[in-house]
Amino acid sequence: MQTRTSGDKALQWLVGILLGVMGLLMLLPFVWMILSSFKPESEVAQIPPTLWPHQFTLENFQELFENMRFGVYLRNTLIIVVFSFLGLFLNALAGFAFAKYKFKGRDGLFYLVLATMMIPGQVTMIPVYLILNMMGLTNTMVGIVLPGLVGAFGIFLFRQFMSTIPDELMEATRLDGAGEFRIFVQIALPISKSILAVQGILTFIAGWNSFLWPLIIANDESLYTLSVGLQLLKGQYGGDYALQMAGSAFMVVPIIIIFIIFQKHIIENYSISGMK
Amino acid sequence: MKGLSQKNAPYLFIAPTLILLALFSLLPIAIALVISFTDMDLAGLADLSNISFVGFDNYKEVLLDPSFQKSIFNTLFYVIIGVPLVIIISLLIALLINFGKARIFKAFRVIFYMPSVTNVVAVAVVWSYLYNPSLGLLNYILNSLGFGSVPWLQDPVMAKISLIILAVWRAIGLNMIIFIAAIKGISKTYYEAAQIDGASNWRQTWSITIPLLRFAIFFVSITTMIGWLQFFEEPFVMTKGGPLDGTISVALFIYNNGFQFSKFGYAAAGSFILFFAIILITLIQFKFQNKEADV
């Protein structure tokens, strides 16, 4: 058995301090972003830069919502997030079907689904735009949401998880007269609560961060999401750093908070898939 | 929906997802291939009869396009420098975190992972500010320490490095988590045996941990490489491919030609070249890994 020598302890402290310093460096951009967002534009342009705001102000955030239409962008982003949850439901439904039913072509279709994970986005980017154009869906919310609605990775995870659902349980529910969809809603979903939670959080984060499709599909500013709006802001108001930092902070801080609250679940989810 | 029979239910359950995947993942590949052999552009979009078949012209033109050539060079630059950096740093941090016994080390996982979940645009905006030659924090710190200012985003070569720093910062967290999980999966008996033999911590890490992480390292290499071959958001937000095409990536080239110049056929040809490159590089990596495993 190991005995804890003082050499051991010293090494632990050394590693801890090393990680601490590196950790601070990792977080430096975020800290700087948050501090700068509360400074007035004049203070942000100062040399030497101030650390803590000498003049604490909320005017940057006000500006974002009053003049920069960030309220619209927020609304659009939230709409996308809500639709993403519909996609999550469809993924779970498909995963359930692949896991618990034997039907003709099941394995072949599942491999087809997995194959779509290999396709790089750059190849599909242009044709999908053309397809949406044919369907008259460019510059619409539906057009933004539809292409990325479902995903092979989610389907795969749900299939893996739901294959552990006992057949007897499903049989018993069938004998009670329940239809297949009710079995899904009343048996499969509650059992999958933990993975639904993790996928749900990741879906929220992905939806909140969505950038490329809104950028390509939306022509009207009224359809832009937070990230598209922020990128526009940087382009048009390149010198207003406090304003940009406020915009970034608004996008980043909610995610950080959600992440810190749920971090245990998210990290464990990746651990499970990392073990494959 | 209540009375779905057991036989029909699965088909209905997978139908929505399969239709969506077929329409937006599989069909597009075929379409991209077809239009890459045409001169499709905005006129073609308006009226399909305006499109004409041009054979391999797009491919020939693209390969001779100096912008495309620069984008290939830049993308390879990003991959060759960035991917090893990501692997080494995330592995190092994973080893350090795993080494720690106190509970605070779990908090470090969160700290290092945070940049990975935040929005790429927001992050790029923040780093643009940090990189600002006169107002940015980084140059200020360098100047205070007696060093000269660095043209972070103004010089074509330095700009590439600046983008790599940003991308590595974002990539560490995710790969670190994968490594931590893999390290935890190594059986303790190996270490116990080594300790009985008197092996030092360093020796144990080098001779036990790292060799047994071969699969995890391979997995991280492939996924990171495929990701970096599609490097897009960072140059798009921070430099728009400049200065002087110094940071343009293949993905950005495709985007510009497709959505700014509307040269759909041309851009599609470029995207297929990228597609083949990804497949080729992935196959080479697999071959390399198999050869190593046989040794």
Q: Which residue has the higher pLDDT, A88 or A180?
A: A88
Q: Is A125 on the interface with B (CB under 8 A)?
A: yes
How many contacts does A have with B, using Cβ atoms within 8 A?
Answer: 282
Give the pLDDT score at A49.
80
Q: What residues does B38 pair with on adjacent strands?
A: B53
Choose among B164, B19, B22: nearest CA to A124.
Answer: B22
Instruction: Say if the Cβ atoms of A128 and B28 lie within 8 Å.
Output: yes
Q: Where are the beta strands (DSSP E) in A159-240?
A: none
Give the pLDDT score at A53.
85
CA–CA separation, A233 and A22 (whole Å) = 31
What is the pLDDT of chain A when averaged over all its residues?
87
The answer to whether B138 and B131 have CB atoms below 8 angstroms apart is yes
Residues in chain B: 295
CA–CA separation, B28 and B34 (whole Å) = 10
Instruction: State mean pLDDT over B232-240.
Output: 90
Contacts of B96 in chain A (CB under 8 A): 15, 18-19
Give the best residue of B8, B113, B114, B215 to mutate against chain A (max A CB count within 10 A). Answer: B114
Instruction: Say if the Cβ atoms of B264 and A93 lie within 8 Å.
Output: no
Q: Which of A109, A124, A252 sits opposite B18 (nearest CB)?
A: A109
Contacts of A236 in chain B (CB under 8 A): none
Contacts of A19 in chain B (CB under 8 A): 93, 96-97, 100, 105, 108
Q: Is A185 on the interface with B (CB under 8 A)?
A: no
Those residues whose C-beta lies under 8 Å from the C-beta of residue A38, and which sit 6 or more positions away, are: A53, A56, A57, A58, A60
Instruction: Say if the Cβ atoms of B122 and A230 lie within 8 Å.
Output: yes
Q: Is A262 on the interface with B (CB under 8 A)?
A: no
Give the pLDDT score at B205.
81
pLDDT per residue over B88-98, tens digit each?
999 999 988 88
The answer to whether B73 and B245 have CB atoms below 8 angstroms apart is no
**pLDDT exceeds 60 at position A272:** no
CA–CA separation, A38 and A40 (whole Å) = 7
**How many DSSP H helices and E strands does chain B contain?**
16, 0
Give the pLDDT score at A48.
80
**What tokens does A137 get?**
């869906």
Choose among B158, B286, B128, B157: nearest CA to B218.
Answer: B286
Choose among B170, B175, B163: nearest CA to B77.
Answer: B163
**What tokens does A107 get?**
């394995």
**What tokens does B132 get?**
């600002």
With CA atoms as reference, the chain A residue closest to B122 would be: A248
CA–CA separation, B212 and B226 (whole Å) = 23
Give the pLDDT score at A13.
86
| Contacts made by residues A82-87, CB under 8 angstroms, sequence distance 24+ | A83/A141, A83/A145, A83/A149, A83/A207, A84/A145, A84/A149, A84/A203, A84/A204, A84/A206, A84/A207, A85/A200, A85/A203, A85/A204, A86/A149, A87/A148, A87/A149, A87/A150, A87/A151, A87/A154, A87/A203
Q: Which of A22, A131, A209 sits opposite B119 (nearest CB)?
A: A209
The answer to whether B21 and A115 have CB atoms below 8 angstroms apart is no
Q: B295 CA to chain A: closest CA distance, Å? A: 23
Q: Which residue has the higher pLDDT, B32 or B9?
A: B32
Instruction: Say if the Cβ atoms of A124 and B264 lie within 8 Å.
Output: no
**pLDDT exceeds 50 at position B258:** yes
Give the pLDDT score at A187.
86
Give the pLDDT score at B193.
86
CA–CA separation, A149 and A87 (whole Å) = 5
Instruction: Say if the Cβ atoms of B274 and A248 lie within 8 Å.
Output: no
**Domain boundaries of chain B, sorted by first residue:** 57-294
Instruction: State mean pLDDT over A42-46.
Output: 83
The answer to whether B54 and B41 have CB atoms below 8 angstroms apart is no
CA–CA separation, B126 and B129 (whole Å) = 5
Give the pLDDT score at A4.
52
Contacts of B134 in chain A (CB under 8 A): 47
What is the pLDDT of chain B when averaged over all its residues?
88
Instruction: Say if the Cβ atoms of B135 and A244 lie within 8 Å.
Output: no
Give the pLDDT score at B3.
55
CA–CA separation, B78 and B264 (whole Å) = 26
Q: What residues does B53 pair with on adjacent strands?
A: B38
Q: What angle do CA A194, A199, A200 make, to 5 degrees?
A: 95
Q: To the nearest whole percent, how much of chain B has pLDDT over 90?
A: 44
Instruction: State mean pLDDT over B193-211.
Output: 82
B135-to-A59, B127, B130, B144 alpha-carbon distances in Å: 20, 12, 8, 13
Q: Which of B29, B125, B275 sits opposite A248 (nearest CB)?
A: B125
How high is the ipTM of this complex? 0.84
Q: How confident is the model at residue A72 (pLDDT cuts 50, 70, 90)?
A: very high
**pLDDT exceeds 80 at position A113:** yes
**pLDDT exceeds 80 at position B210:** yes
Instruction: State mean pLDDT over A143-149.
Output: 91
CA–CA separation, B231 and B57 (whole Å) = 26
CA–CA separation, A124 and A122 (whole Å) = 6
Instruction: State mean pLDDT over B80-90.
Output: 94
- Tell me how crowded residue A82 is: count the other CB atoms within 10 A of its CB: 12
- B38 three-class SS: strand
CA–CA separation, B288 and B265 (whole Å) = 35
- Among 3.40.50.10490, 3.40.50.300, 3.40.50.360, 1.10.3720.10, name the CATH number for the domain at B57-294: 1.10.3720.10
Q: Which of B134, B185, B264 sits opposite A126 (nearest CB)?
A: B264
Q: Which residue has the higher pLDDT, B102 or A23?
A: A23
Letter for the amino acid at A224?
Y
pLDDT per residue over A4-22, tens digit each?
566 778 888 888 899 999 9
CA–CA separation, B269 and B203 (whole Å) = 50
Instruction: Say if the Cβ atoms of A49 and B23 lie within 8 Å.
Output: no
Give the pLDDT score at B186.
83
Instruction: Say if the Cβ atoms of B17 and A181 lie within 8 Å.
Output: no
Give the pLDDT score at B168.
94
pLDDT per residue over A235-250, tens digit each?
888 888 889 999 999 9
CA–CA separation, A226 and A73 (whole Å) = 5
Give the pLDDT score at B69.
94
Surface of A (25-54) touching B: CB under 8 A: 26-27, 29-30, 32-33, 36, 44-45, 47-49
Give the pLDDT score at B20.
94
- B200 three-class SS: coil
Give the pLDDT score at B294.
57
Q: How confident is the model at residue A1 (pLDDT cuts 50, 70, 90)?
A: very low
Q: Domain A68-236 falls in which CATH fold?
A: MetI-like fold (1.10.3720)
